[in-house]
Homo-oligomer: A and B are copies of this chain.
Amino acid sequence: MTIHLAIVGIGKIVRDQHLPAVAGNADYRLVAAASRNGRVEGIENFGTIEAMLAAVPSIDAVSLCMPPQYRYTAAVQALEAGKHVFLEKPPGATLSEVEDLAARADAKGVSLFASWHSRHAPAVEAARAFLAGTRVRSMRVSWKEDVRQWHPGQDWIWQPGGLGVFDPGINALSIVTRILAQPVFATEATLEFPENRDAPIAATIRFSDADGLDLLAEFDWRQTGPQSWDIEAETGAGTMRLSGGGATLSVDGMTVHAEPEQEYPSLYRHFAALVRAGRSDVDLAPLRHVADAFMLGRREMVEAFHD
């Protein structure tokens, strides 16, 4: 049975990733879109999710891709209408609202998927398997990119709830929480806020686990040279390096896993499997670590940021 899908919040990530992934998956038929400004050619378009849900009763599932600050209200409408829901990352502006969505999905018997696309990067499962067979002594996460290149003029990421540098940084945390066998928790954090912004432009979080793991994560949006999305671990079986945002795994300098990037096709395969199995997948650990870092962290004021 084909899943009749609608997408809400038509922007860059939808055009670049969601539309091609859905078009390439025979499990789905894209039947409608809703957006304040964007449009998708060849299907019915609406200005709001309410109008769309009222006009197209055949919709089985919706993907919510608007900024996280606006996701909860749309998700409640979709869930209460009995639709399965795919949430882009981060799944919401607060942990509490996503907990509520998960309870509502359970009550309605529909699937909720809080997606973390970086967990579907090519070498993530290989890294998880490698770490499962050895002892991790220390880990360093280096997630440093140029915000002007990757998020030009995206005001919402600087607003409260937009998470600032944690918008990419949460991708690293989604990988770390997948590849480590044991849960970690923040023990110290420093968040650097531009004096004219309400979200951090850089952050450092120190994590540990019950066995005293030494894990340092550095996030920076001011990186103008080579960009880095790397996770390196010293282990009993050598130095593991997961680079390129999860694309390539190497051990002691030798590449052991590299495949073409297929994050969004993999996400949509997983969502279809959830819908068919009548299950949800809502792991809030990455967002919880961000919230913990905000709660636990020291704040430093740094130079104003202008786009």
Write the residues of chain A forming the contact surface with B, with a CB cutoff of 8 angstroms.
72, 76, 93-97, 99-100, 103-104, 160-161, 163, 183-189, 193, 198, 210, 285, 288-292, 294-299, 301
- Least CB distance from A280 to B in Å reads 17
Q: Please, how many angstroms separate the alpha-carbon atoms of A193 and B298 in the complex?
A: 11
| 11 other A-B residue contacts (CB within 8 Å) besides A95-B291, A160-B189 | A72-B185, A94-B185, A94-B296, A96-B288, A100-B185, A160-B298, A161-B295, A198-B298, A291-B291, A294-B295, A301-B301
Do A193 and B289 contact each other (CB < 8 Å), given the known contacts A96-B183, A185-B72? Answer: no
Residue of B nearest to A96 (CB): B185
Contact indicator A76/B210 (Cβ below 8 Å): yes
Do A93 and B183 contact each other (CB < 8 Å), given the known contacts A99-B288, A189-B160, A210-B76? Answer: no
Contact indicator B97/A185 (Cβ below 8 Å): yes
Q: Please, how many angstroms separate the alpha-carbon atoms of A297 and B160 in the complex?
A: 6
Contact indicator A96/B186 (Cβ below 8 Å): yes
User: Which B residues lie within 8 Å of A163 (CB)?
Assistant: 295
Contact partner, A292, options B96, B289, B296, B297, Cβ 8 Å: B96
Contact indicator A183/B100 (Cβ below 8 Å): yes
Contact indicator B96/A285 (Cβ below 8 Å): yes
Q: Which 7 A-B pairs have the closest CB atoms?
A: A291-B291, A94-B292, A96-B185, A97-B185, A294-B294, A294-B295, A291-B295
Q: Please, how many angstroms separate the alpha-carbon atoms of A255 and B94 in the complex?
A: 36
Residue of B nearest to A159 (CB): B298
User: Which B residues lie within 8 Å of A99 (CB)?
Assistant: 183, 288
Residue of B nearest to A163 (CB): B295
Q: Mind listing 20 A-B residue pairs with CB under 8 Å?
A: A76-B210, A93-B187, A94-B295, A95-B95, A95-B288, A96-B183, A96-B186, A96-B289, A97-B185, A100-B183, A103-B183, A160-B188, A160-B189, A160-B298, A161-B295, A193-B299, A198-B299, A294-B294, A295-B295, A301-B301
User: Which B residues lie within 8 Å of A161 (CB)?
Assistant: 295-296
User: Which B residues lie within 8 Å of A188 (CB)?
Assistant: 160
User: Which B residues lie within 8 Å of A290 (CB)?
Assistant: 295
Contact indicator A299/B299 (Cβ below 8 Å): yes
User: Which B residues lie within 8 Å of A187 (CB)?
Assistant: 93
- Least CB distance from A300 to B in Å reads 10
User: Which B residues lie within 8 Å of A289 (CB)?
Assistant: 96
Contact indicator A210/B100 (Cβ below 8 Å): yes
User: Which B residues lie within 8 Å of A185 (CB)?
Assistant: 72, 94, 96-97, 100
User: Which B residues lie within 8 Å of A198 (CB)?
Assistant: 298-299
Residue of B nearest to A292 (CB): B94
Residue of B nearest to A161 (CB): B296
Q: Please, how many angstroms separate the alpha-carbon atoms of A295 and B187 in the complex?
A: 17
User: Which B residues lie within 8 Å of A292 (CB)?
Assistant: 94-96, 291
